[in-house]
Copies of this chain bind each other. A is one copy, B any other.
Amino acid sequence: MAESWSFLDTVEPNFRPLVVIELAKGTKEETIEWFTKRIVDKKADGGAQLLIKPLVTENGHENIYLVGASHLRLLLGAETVGLVKECNDNSMRTFTYSSRKTFKDFADDNHNFLTMAECQYIIKHELDNLRAKNEKMIPGYPQAKLYPGKSIVRRLLTSGILVQIFPLHDREELKKLRHSWYGRVRVGYQPLDDIRCYFGETIALYFGFLEYFTFALIPMAVIGIPYYVFAWEDYDKYVMFATFNLLWSTVILEVWKRICAILTYRWGTLLMKRQFEEPRPGFHGVLGINPVTGREEPVYSSIKRQLRIYLVSLPFVCLCLYFSLYVMMIYFDLEQWALDYHRENESNFSSLMLYVPSIIYAVVIEIMNRIYRYAAEFLTSWENHRLESSYQNHLILKVLVFNFLNCFASLFYIAFVLFDMKLLRQSLATLLITSQILNQFAESLLPYWLQKRHSKRMKQRACSQKTDIDLSLAEQVNMEKEMGTYLGTFDDYLELFLQFGYVSLFSCVYPLAAVFAVLNNITEIYSDALKMCRVYKRPFAEPTANIGVWQLAFETMSVISVVTNCLLIGMSPQVDALFPDSKMDLVLTVAFVEHLLLAIKFIMAFVIPDKPRDIQMKLAKLEFESLEALKQQQMKLAAESLKE
């Protein structure tokens, strides 16, 4: 390894821009000099050993820098981040530079061995892990303090010197991807492997899940249609439909785990041990030795983190949930008051007044959502998680419960306090359909239109002032830096999660929900694809082995829906009529069925293995081989110590 690193110095690099760094206008010269020096510096001196070049545009120097790296540097970086690639013997192995020849498709002149997304991920990882050594502050900015081990890029970002870092699009690849993804009308699967190569595993997995989920909803939709067409209102048909839905939702969630394992095994991320990686840039602590890897890195007590989670974050979340419920109750009171007012003095003004509570409530909810999200981000960041995945999971969980309550509390209130099934069906349909239309519009079409207008203007300006041969790159950078930033898959999953709630929580009241969900998701695939390719900056790839806490969220939803559906069926007048003598028998029967369904769900989840057998075998084989290798190493060490 040491040999390869020194070899790196003598190679004249072939510069290919991968990542763009934009510094604030008026950044001090001394700061720029120090920062670029740290980026270019050798690994041994604590640098990132990358290449950096200022972007020269028609307006001269604009504090925009292009970062790249030599092919060799990227391969060494792939080893550092622990990429897993396929070997010549079809097994998946952690890439190491010394064993590079054993990997499939590797050749010294094949620069496509690492995908562009991987190269950009490596560069981001190296930049994030560029840590302060002896600097007490950022040169030129005494207020931006540094301490040994603090991520430099993160401090630059928080102090506003660094405006943004983003990876460049590859126009040619993007065009190909667009074509195969949504360019032609076609029936079939998405090109998940291509999406993964271009956008990374997290996004590819989201699209995989979206597609899988859409297919999985089709049986529910198909069974739901006749209920609408023939206006079936028989109790036994509803029971059958609900029972099918409840068991089916367990099956699809279990099967997804298996499909997810197949996908991520092929992509190598299932075997990537991210817990052995360096901590996320936001992680802080005293510089110490990681007890697992033996590397020097910030260390933070896990007990402190637990205390912060359970003594601060948890009570805060509970308080917010309580507050949100309280606001909802006020809304229902207001609604009642408006209704009474309208009934007493009927006038144009009073009928207008009928809408006021809803509008106020919608605005308040939106404000609460934003404030809560900000607070959740702050709290999760303050909890100081070492791994990005655990940070994400804690953040998602916090935001999730709040959104769940805001979305479904009013429906629960209508269903189980007001007992108004007609209103429930109405509200459900309204909520589902309007939210889907609004989402599609606000998420993709509107930004797309804005983006198109903007880029047209940009192009016009650029064409009229063409002066440099490098312009096409400069033009691209300037255009992309103005594009919106994709904030991660959170909102996309949340949409699916709430949709799953509408479909499953009250499925026996409104069987048509699944139909709308399927229709929405088919267009959602296209609009999300459009959004990724056209509207936003290219996001950094993020390796991931599963959908994280979302799996848990969907599973919990499916358990809750057993309870709600049993209650709804129990409350229906048809079922009521079956037990004319004793309400007690009715309730006990419903409770018994509910427990039976829950038991079946848990047994099914327990019995269906999370990973297909061949993946299990491959994982076991890897474990066996690693342990054997450790044994061999031990034996060699012992033999050497004997010789001495």
Interface on A for B, CB 8 Å cutoff? Answer: 93-94, 96, 98-102, 273, 275-276, 291-293, 302, 563, 583-584, 587-588, 591, 595, 613, 617, 620-627, 629-635, 637-639, 641-642
Contact = CB atoms under 8 A, between A and B. Distances in A.
Contacts of A626: 623, 626-627, 629-630
A85 B384 CA distance: 36
A583 B635 CA distance: 73
A336 to B, nearest CB: 23
Nearest to A642: B101
Given A101-B642, A302-B613, A632 B633 contact: yes
Copy count, this protein chain: 2
A273 B623 contact: yes
A530 B273 CA distance: 48
Contacts of A588: 587
A633 B637 CA distance: 13
Contacts of A630: 93-94, 622, 625-626, 629-630
A509 to B, nearest CB: 19
A591 B595 CA distance: 11
Contacts of A633: 629, 632-633
Contacts of A293: 624
Which A-B residue pairs are the 7 nearest by beta carbons?
A626-B626, A99-B638, A98-B635, A629-B629, A629-B630, A626-B630, A629-B633
23 contacts: A93-B634, A94-B627, A96-B635, A98-B639, A99-B631, A99-B634, A101-B638, A102-B637, A102-B638, A273-B627, A275-B620, A291-B617, A292-B620, A302-B613, A563-B595, A583-B584, A622-B630, A623-B626, A626-B629, A626-B630, A629-B629, A629-B632, A629-B633
A631 B292 contact: no
B99 A292 contact: no
Nearest to A79: B631
Given A99-B634, A291-B617, A623-B626, 17 more contacts: A93-B630, A96-B631, A96-B634, A98-B634, A98-B635, A101-B642, A102-B637, A276-B620, A291-B621, A292-B617, A292-B620, A587-B587, A587-B591, A626-B627, A626-B629, A629-B629, A629-B633
Nearest to A94: B631
A100 B93 CA distance: 30
Contacts of A635: 96, 98-99
Nearest to A598: B598
Contacts of A94: 627, 630-631
Contacts of A98: 634-635, 638-639
A386 to B, nearest CB: 12
Nearest to A623: B273
A100 B635 CA distance: 9
Nearest to A587: B587
A273 B624 contact: yes
A635 B620 CA distance: 21
Looking at A583, A620, A634, A639, the one whose CB has the most chain B CB atoms below 10 A away is A634
A96 B591 CA distance: 58
Nearest to A271: B627
A93 B627 CA distance: 10
Nearest to A621: B292
Contacts of A591: 587, 591
Given A291-B617, A613-B302, A276 B587 contact: no
A403 to B, nearest CB: 19
Contacts of A101: 638, 641-642
Nearest to A595: B563
A98 B96 CA distance: 28
Contacts of A621: 291-292
Contacts of A627: 94, 273, 276, 626
A80 to B, nearest CB: 12
A95 to B, nearest CB: 9
A293 B623 CA distance: 10
A637 B99 contact: yes
A234 to B, nearest CB: 24
A626 B275 CA distance: 15
Contacts of A639: 98
Among A101, A583, A587, A626, find the residue whose CB has the most chain B CB atoms closer than 10 A: A626
A302 B617 CA distance: 12
A616 to B, nearest CB: 9
Nearest to A617: B291
A572 B631 CA distance: 63
A419 B621 CA distance: 56
A488 B99 CA distance: 49
Nearest to A566: B591
Nearest to A614: B291
Contacts of A620: 275-276, 292
A608 to B, nearest CB: 11
A609 to B, nearest CB: 10
A642 B99 CA distance: 10
Contacts of A292: 617, 620-621, 624
A623 B100 CA distance: 23
A571 to B, nearest CB: 11
Given A291-B621, A583-B583, A624-B273, A634 B102 contact: yes
A577 to B, nearest CB: 16
A416 to B, nearest CB: 10
Nearest to A273: B627
- Interface hub of A275, A587, A620, A630 (most chain B Cβ within 10 A): A630
A4 to B, nearest CB: 11
A264 to B, nearest CB: 17
Contacts of A291: 617, 621
A113 to B, nearest CB: 15
A331 to B, nearest CB: 24
Contacts of A642: 101
Nearest to A310: B607
A93 B633 CA distance: 12
A2 to B, nearest CB: 13
